[in-house]
Amino acid sequence: MNSGAGVNSLEALRTWRGQLDVYRTEALDALAAIQLEIHRAESWLDEKARFWVQAARDAEEEVHEALTELRNRRYPDYSGRMPDTTLQERAVRRAKARLEFAQDQQEVVRRWKLRMRQMVLELYEGPSRRLNHFLDADVARGLALLARQIGALQQYLDQAPPSSAGAAEAGSPPAPPQG
């Protein structure tokens, strides 16, 4: 036997529906914010990759210039003496070190980009997609159903109960004949 809805407070249902709608909206906003942060991090890594590519190009240019300067200094001067090339050799070492560092940083950024993409795919994409679908489909359907049910309950409550005079007349035995 059906025992009925067991609703004690229509206002409590309305409040609960409102809070569920707030939860849905805030959860969708949070998912969007997380997606934005992921995009920002990916953009930052892309920017760093471009930076280190340019830094490596600049360092290659410095190496080339330092080697050219060193080669030019290795020839004897007008007096036949070999000039001191200590400064040029130091400049070549520094330029090569800068180039190596820039190339190392390119590799570090490349690994981080791969690692981040992998982590996002493994840890975030699947669960967030399921949560997003749940919020957009299931919770949205549930909110619509709850709104319809609240409306139906409100209509039921809005129906005027039979008047007490009419109920007394309808429920009372007929009056005895007068006679």
pLDDT in tens, 36-88: 999 999 999 999 999 999 999 999 999 999 999 999 888 877 887 888 889 99
Helix axis angle, 126-133 relative to 10-73, nearest 10°? 150
Q: Which residue has the higher pLDDT, 9 or 164?
A: 9
Is position 179 within any domain? Answer: no
Residue 64, pLDDT score:
97
Number of domains making up the chain: 1
Structural domain range at position 103: 14-152
Is position 5 within any domain? Answer: no
Distance, in Å, from the CA atom of 141 to the CA atom of 133, rounded to the nearest integer, reads 11
Is position 174 within any domain? Answer: no
Is position 1 within any domain? Answer: no
Task: Give, rounded to a whole angstrom, the gap between the first and last alpha carbons of the chain.
Answer: 48
Distance, in Å, from the CA atom of 151 to the CA atom of 125, rounded to the nearest integer, reads 38
Distance, in Å, from the CA atom of 52 to the CA atom of 47, rounded to the nearest integer, reads 9
pLDDT in tens, 93-146: 999 999 999 999 999 999 999 999 999 999 999 999 999 999 999 999 999 999
CB contact at 8 A, 110 and 49? yes
Is position 173 within any domain? Answer: no
CB contact at 8 A, 135 and 28? yes
Is position 159 within any domain? Answer: no
pLDDT at 173 over 90: no
Is position 172 within any domain? Answer: no
pTM value is 0.68
